[in-house]
A and B are shown apart, each in its own frame.
Chain A
Amino acid sequence: MIVFTKPACYNRPLGVPMRTPLAIKGIGDRLVISLPQGEWTTILPDLMHAIDERGDFFKGAKVALQVDDRELGPAQLVALRQALAQREITLWALLATDESTCAAASKLGIDIDVGSPSHQTEEDDYVFDSDLPGDEAILVERTLRSGQRLRHPGHVIVFGDVNPGSEIVAGGHILIWGRLRGTVHAGAAGDESATVCALDMMPTQLRIASHIAVSPKRRGRPHPEVAFVRDGQLIAETWENSERS
């Protein structure tokens, strides 16, 4: 088992949790954010803060907010939509159970029906109960070369090499069937259960959720490895010895 060494210096403080917990799930190319419990007046700034913390992960995204039974008036919804628009995020729908909130949303032209996950059916359970953000994976069947960037809210599978100078940012897992030499960020929206797997793991930098590590010097031959977060630490294990099932 290799414990990744954290870089001595990085432009963000390490060891401090950077991300506010936010439950994000994906349907196709769209995202659903479930808001935590609490007062709306504190939740809205918290949400914006959480979005800002994630850099441009959300930029250009279509987002639905799960507000459950909160009562929200038109003024609050307009403020919400404007705050999101400033960050180049489209408020695509509101998942609300409160009737007055639903009425206010429809008046403003905000969708309240996204296959109705607020009134869940069995099929929706399947979509939304995944414990990882983004249920869809993309398969990239080529080598990612220097300067090429790949962003995806779900999982990313690369059938080829990931060369130095390239970058992958994924909401979920990252699987590399080849050599990993570039920078990868799994669980970019804050999911600590995301993993990075590679046949030959020597990334320039490896990130899972808010954890950052650089590869230690390789000893011996390359072997398939899986990197994950355990007890707040980024760990890489060889596939054969992995304790994860």
Chain B
Amino acid sequence: MTAKVVTITSGKGGVGKTTATANIGVALASLGHPAVCIDADIGLRNLDVIMGLENRIVYDLVDVVEGRCKLRQSMIKDKRVPDLYLIPAAQARDKTSVSPQDMIRLCDELRSHCEWILIDSPAGIERGFRNAIAPADLVLIITNPEVSAVRDADRIIGLIEAEGKGPGQLIINRLKPEMVKKGDMLGEEDILDVLAIELIGLVPEDDAVITASNQGNPVALNASSSAGNAFRDIARRLNGEEVPFEPLYDQQGFLKRISRLVRSGGDR
């Protein structure tokens, strides 16, 4: 097994990086693809809470990097899904405890243990972000349908291109179909117009996400959740499956627009 390293980042905070990392990890593992989630947000760790594994932490990312434990010891096995692991961030340290080289080394060591390595990037464009994207084979940029989030995503895409990590792929999170229909919210077309990269996920706003996060029970485990469905679709697309985008609007011509989206993604 040689794992693919996927970093999930956004620039802006609070758009759903951690939620997406947890859910894509859960979805990949439940599809039978072993995955390891790494929380690179050292000092502000959250991924363990959302995955519901907070009380199992013994060693963390900084312990591995500084050689206080073996890599295997820091990998926390998920309690629901087999073949899903979490390497938590240290809470009492900061981003400078880890270097981009450390991250590359760590991921190289992990590659033989799983199929997917998902890295949850901290917000911002500083050291923590550099650490998170250094080992990435693929970068997923997550944004909300808000002008400020799209602006930050655009900046991030520019930085990723400058690092030679390709343009990445886009997840639009917390889309409210009703508002888009009324013209009160940016639609996916507006966002793709600006960012011009390939779309990999369209996640609708779903109250179940908040409940799930608070309970440490990722929404991707919930078969009846629309957001959970969207995250499972992302996992399938990562595995190379052609999954059509779920129609979010009940309006005519939607399929036509979606097929246009699929074609226009990442052509520039």
A residues sitting closer than 8 Å to B (CB atoms) are: 142-143, 145-148, 160-161, 163-165, 179, 181
Q: What separation, in Å, do the CA atoms of A147 and B194 have in the docked complex?
A: 14
Q: Is the CB of B155 within 8 A of A147?
A: yes
Q: Is the CB of A145 within 8 A of B268?
A: no
Residue of B nearest to A160 (CB): B268
Query: Contacting A146 at CB < 8 Å: which of B154, B161, B196, B268?
Result: B154
Query: Contacting B155 at CB < 8 Å: which of A143, A160, A165?
Result: A165
* B40 close to chain A: CB less than 8 A: no
Q: What separation, in Å, do the CA atoms of A201 and B157 have in the docked complex?
A: 23
Query: Contacting B151 at CB < 8 Å: which of A142, A146, A179?
Result: A146
Q: Is the CB of B154 within 8 A of A164?
A: yes
* B247 close to chain A: CB less than 8 A: no
**Contact size class for B?**
10 to 19
* A222 to B: closest C-beta gap in Å: 11
Chain A residues positioned under 8 Å from B157 (CB to CB): 145
* B102 close to chain A: CB less than 8 A: no
Q: Is the CB of B194 within 8 A of A181?
A: yes
In the complex with contacts A143-B268, A146-B158, A147-B158, A161-B196 CB distance below 8 A:
yes
* A24 to B: closest C-beta gap in Å: 30
Q: What separation, in Å, do the CA atoms of A181 and B150 have in the docked complex?
A: 13
Chain B residues positioned under 8 Å from A179 (CB to CB): 193
Chain A residues positioned under 8 Å from B151 (CB to CB): 146, 164-165
Residue of B nearest to A159 (CB): B268
Residue of B nearest to A161 (CB): B196
Chain B residues positioned under 8 Å from A164 (CB to CB): 151, 154, 194
Task: Indicate with 1 or 0, residue by residue over B147-163, a CB within 8 angstroms of chain A CB atoms.
Answer: 00001101101110100
Chain A residues positioned under 8 Å from B155 (CB to CB): 145-147, 165
Instruction: Jot down 7 A-B pairs with beta carbons below 8 A, ordered by A.
Output: A146-B151, A146-B155, A161-B196, A164-B154, A164-B194, A165-B155, A179-B193
Q: What separation, in Å, do the CA atoms of A163 and B161 have in the docked complex?
A: 15
Q: What separation, in Å, do the CA atoms of A235 and B171 have in the docked complex?
A: 39
